[in-house]
């Protein structure tokens, strides 16, 4: 009995419920479940917010298409055509179209006076040639002859004949029509290269030159002016005519031309002073230059070197 009383004393005290809890035993459980529902609702809202934010970030925003003005479209087309139709010489066009075809060069003496180069191109068993004193110009002529024949053949080609019978075109199988390529027409002829060649020939025919950049006035350095002799010398016979002319008119230029290179040779030298052109002939360039200077001095300063030489 004593042991049973000790065991009963060790038991925990009984739970005491209030009157409201006794009347509504489910209220406590409902409060706990309500709290859990609120937490779940908050979690669901957070998940929805996260999903919406991620969806907003992952959406790709494409740029809006704007209508291109006709003037701007025309300018773009002009810029594209300028790149396509860049002026090219016949040699450049040929080297782009036929990289592996060599151009042979041969030299020969023409009339025992000067050397002439002959360039030849062999394509499909046909030989195209061009003659000139310069090697490059000979190649240009040979390439030009080949391209001219190539364009003439293309221009003389007849278009494909259309079917005369309209009924036959209707009876064609669908498989045949489906096998035909659809889209814009295609062609292997290098029209852009010939357009570039035509532009090159037009510029050469009109003798157009590229515009040089004009330097600003501040950076342009004018060469120093070299003054000539203020007074004609009292004894001009002591001077060389060419030297005296350079002293009286610094910067004067002479142009030399060969009239006859055979024996006897003949040369002509010209100079221009104050809008008047003077010429002198001689068996050598030096003698022709001297005669030109004598004629110039005689016209402007009334002194003739020939009279002094005769004395």
* Helices and strands per DSSP (H, E), number in the chain: 12, 6
Give CA torsion, residues 39, 44, 48, 54, to 10 deg. Answer: 80
Tell me which residue of 93, 87, 202 sits closest to 151, measured CA to CA: 93
Cα 229 from Cα 247, distance rounded (Å) = 6
Tell me which residue of 234, 233, 253, 231 sits closest to 242, measured CA to CA: 253
Tell me which residue of 212, 274, 284 sits closest to 249, measured CA to CA: 274
pLDDT tens, N- to C-terminus, the chain (311 residues): 555 554 455 555 555 555 554 445 545 545 545 555 555 555 555 555 544 555 555 667 777 777 888 888 899 889 888 888 889 999 999 999 999 999 999 988 876 667 889 999 999 999 999 999 889 999 999 999 999 999 999 999 876 554 444 444 544 544 444 455 556 677 889 989 999 999 999 988 887 766 555 444 444 444 445 555 667 888 888 889 998 888 888 888 888 888 777 777 788 899 988 888 888 988 888 999 999 999 998 888 888 888 876 65
What pTM did the predictor assign?
Answer: 0.44
Cα 267 from Cα 59, distance rounded (Å) = 86
**Number of Cβ atoms within 10 Å of the Cβ of 268:** 19
Cα 144 from Cα 119, distance rounded (Å) = 11
Q: Indicate the helix (H) or strand (E) that contains 282.
A: strand 276-282
For 209-220, b/e burial (b = at least 16 CB within 10 A) is eeeeeeeeeeee
Q: Do 273 and 252 touch, CB atoms closer than 8 A?
A: yes
**Number of Cβ atoms within 10 Å of the Cβ of 11:** 7
Q: Do 88 and 78 touch, CB atoms closer than 8 A?
A: no
Q: Do 304 and 298 touch, CB atoms closer than 8 A?
A: yes
At a CB cut-off of 8 Å and minimum separation 6, what does 233 contact?
239, 244
Q: Is 111 left (phi over 0), alpha (psi -120 to 50) or beta?
A: left
Strand partners, 268: 257, 281
Q: What is the pLDDT of residue 167?
A: 46
Strand ranges of the sheet holding 266-273, from the earlier edge strand across to the other edge: 254-260, 266-273, 276-282
Strand partners, 256: 269
Cα 58 from Cα 107, distance rounded (Å) = 74
**Number of Cβ atoms within 10 Å of the Cβ of 121:** 20
Percentages helix, strand, coil for the chain, rounded to the nearest 5?
50, 15, 35
């Amino acid at each position: 009995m004593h042991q049973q009383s000790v065991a009963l004393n060790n038991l925990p005290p009984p739970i005491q419920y209030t009157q409201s809890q006794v009347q509504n035993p489910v209220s406590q459980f409902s409060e706990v479940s309500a709290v859990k529902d609120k937490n779940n609702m908050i979690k669901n809202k957070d998940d929805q917010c996260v999903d919406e934010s991620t969806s907003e970030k992952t959406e790709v925003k494409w740029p809006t298409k704007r209508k291109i003005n006709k003037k701007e479209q025309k300018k773009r087309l002009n810029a594209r055509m300028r790149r396509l139709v860049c002026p090219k010489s016949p040699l450049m066009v040929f080297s782009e179209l036929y990289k592996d075809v060599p151009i042979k060069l041969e030299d020969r003496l023409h009339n025992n006076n000067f050397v002439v180069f002959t360039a030849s191109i062999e394509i499909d068993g046909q030989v195209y040639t061009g003659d000139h004193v310069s090697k490059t110009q000979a190649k240009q002529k040979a390439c030009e002859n080949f391209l001219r024949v190539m364009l003439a053949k293309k221009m003389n080609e007849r278009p494909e004949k259309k079917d005369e019978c309209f009924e036959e075109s209707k009876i064609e199988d669908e498989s045949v029509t489906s096998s035909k390529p659809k889209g814009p027409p295609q062609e292997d002829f290098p029209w852009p290269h010939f357009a570039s060649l035509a532009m090159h020939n037009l510029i050469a025919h009109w003798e157009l030159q590229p515009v040089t950049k004009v330097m600003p006035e501040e950076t342009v350095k004018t060469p120093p002016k070299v003054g000539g002799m203020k007074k004609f010398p009292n004894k001009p016979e002591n001077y060389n005519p060419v030297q005296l002319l350079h002293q009286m008119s610094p910067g004067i230029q002479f142009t030399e031309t060969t009239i006859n290179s055979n024996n006897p040779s003949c040369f002509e030298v010209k100079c221009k002073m104050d809008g008047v052109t003077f010429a002198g002939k001689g068996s050598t360039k030096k003698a022709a230059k001297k005669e030109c200077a004598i004629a110039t001095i005689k016209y402007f300063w009334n002194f003739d070197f020939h009279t002094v030489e005769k004395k």
